[in-house]
Amino acid sequence: MSDDAIEQIARPRPSGTLESELWDLAATVVDPEVPVLTIEDLGVLRSVRISDQGVIVQITPTYSGCPAVDAMRDDIVAVLNKAGHSEVMVQVVLAPAWTTDWLSQSGRDKLEEYGIAAPGPRRTDGVVSLGLGVRCPHCGSLHTREAARFGSTSCKALYVCQRCQEPFDYFKEH
Amino acid sequence: MKSSHVASTAITPESIAGAGAIASEAVALYALGLGDDALILAQRLGEWITNAPELEEDVALGNIGLDQLGHARSLLTYAGSAWGKTEDDLAYFRGEPEFRNRQLFERPNGDFAQTIARQLIASVYFDSLYRELSTSTDPTLAAIAAKARKEVDYHLDHSVQWLNRLGGGTEFSHERMQRGLDIMWACVDELYSADPLAEDLKGISVDPQTLRADFDVLVPRLITDAGLQIPTTPQSRGGGRLGQHSESLGPLLAEMQVLARAHPGASW
């Protein structure tokens, strides 16, 4: 799939004037666990539309049990309330399932600056997963090793750089 | 796993899958069984937090449990839509005979090797189940399954790594891993037996019997590769889907439900 095609799926910003404004407002909400990333960067923001019941925002969780979803939901409601929209409903959609391929390029750059290695392209279905080199976000070395597959949150693994000796988080391909 | 989410942010049936899908009675019962499987396993995994043999495993088992809890929340929310109940109503205010989980998931943790054996059997099952369920004609079940399967992939990988490490480790770890497999093996037949809650749901549910072949091909190979013996344990009677459980489920529920029952309706 081309980068443009992925971009269209990952960030379906509405075309209507008012709805796109509301989208941009909701898009200022950040992931409470990785506060450099907005929910738009992540591809978590799925749709914004105006209905008889007020503004309906749809988000998708990165992982089913991700506790950040509740915080994001509250933040979306707060940011839209503040802009004068009193009726806001946030829905959780599970399809299409979120993938790290939806992470925007600027999101990837911000992750690296923040000290988290960005995910590579997701492997397709198969039984063999190859551990390719993960670049250290501190010194850029590829001489790194996985210390723990499960890290501080569901979406991250813990790595250690064998050149600069620093530990760092790696956003797992998903 | 202590679920401490605030009642006001509980996911409502309307917010699942965005469409406000309401399950029929038959689909709700089916989803309830699947949700209970995930919930009870999540609770067992949560018992390892601060008790695992090393910090990384505390985090790993906690994370795997959290994923399972996520699957349970989606499934129980969907089930509850048929009866006007929330995920919390179903998790905290049902008694033992009303739980529909297969007995594998309530098996006590035992030692680390027993937990790995249980997780290996569970992950292979979930991987096949969610693969098939993701093509269900019920869009909500299909969406939950497609999401869950990506997560189970990591769980299976984790179990296989430990199976190899313990099986091919020291004499002591080898013995413990073998014992773990022997103990958990008793629940395999029940796991893959017909689901009495899904008999009339053609195209919507997955018949576990059709998944048995995956297990029979993959698991013996994994066990043999790890230098271990395929167990010949007598099979348990089962009956989890009908509310028949082992004596270990009661204490698990008591711990899981005590706070919600002491303060009904409270939010924190």
Of all residues in chain B, the percent with pLDDT exceeding 90 is 88
pLDDT confidence of A131, banded at 50, 70, 90?
low
Across chain A, mean pLDDT equals 90
Task: Name every chain A residue with its beta carbon within 8 A of the beta carbon of B150.
Answer: 97, 99, 174
Least confident piece of the model among B49-58, B71-80, B163-172, B195-204? B195-204
Q: What is the pLDDT of residues B97-145, one digit of tens each?
A: 999 999 999 999 999 999 999 999 999 999 999 999 999 999 999 999 9
Whole-angstrom Cα distance, residue B56 to residue A150? 7
pLDDT confidence of B4, banded at 50, 70, 90?
very low
Alpha helices in B168-263 (DSSP H): 171-184, 188-191, 212-225, 249-262
Residue from the list A89, A94, A154 with its beta carbon closest to the beta carbon of B143: A94
The alpha carbon of residue A143 is apart from the nearest alpha carbon of chain B, in Å, by 21
Is residue A20 less than 8 Å (CB to CB) from chain B? Answer: no
Q: Do B150 and A174 touch (CB under 8 A)?
A: yes
Tokens found for residue B248? 């270990």
pLDDT at position B6 over 50: no
Q: What is the pLDDT of residues B156-173, one digit of tens each?
A: 999 999 999 999 999 999
Task: Please report the pLDDT score of residue B13 as a whole number.
Answer: 47
Whole-angstrom Cα distance, residue B197 to residue B214? 22
Three-state secondary structure call for residue B6: coil
Is residue A54 less than 8 Å (CB to CB) from chain B? Answer: no
Q: What is the pLDDT of residues B214-265, one digit of tens each?
A: 999 999 999 999 999 999 999 999 999 999 999 999 999 999 999 999 998 8
| Whole-structure pTM value | 0.90
> Which residues 79-138 of B are in CB contact (within 8 Å) with A?
none
pLDDT at position B199 over 90: no
Task: Name every chain B residue with its beta carbon within 8 A of the beta carbon of A90.
Answer: 15
pLDDT at position A23 over 50: yes
Is the CB of residue A12 less than 8 Å from the CB of residue A47? yes
pLDDT at position B3 over 80: no
Task: Please report the pLDDT score of residue B17 as a whole number.
Answer: 46
Q: What is the pLDDT of residues A65-98, one digit of tens each?
A: 888 888 999 999 999 999 999 999 999 898 899 9
Tokens found for residue B102? 């297969």
Is residue B6 less than 8 Å (CB to CB) from chain A? Answer: yes
The alpha carbon of residue B17 is apart from the nearest alpha carbon of chain A, in Å, by 4
pLDDT at position A166 over 60: yes
Residue from the list B60, B148, B150 with its beta carbon closest to the beta carbon of A150: B60
Is the CB of residue B118 less than 8 Å from the CB of residue B108? no
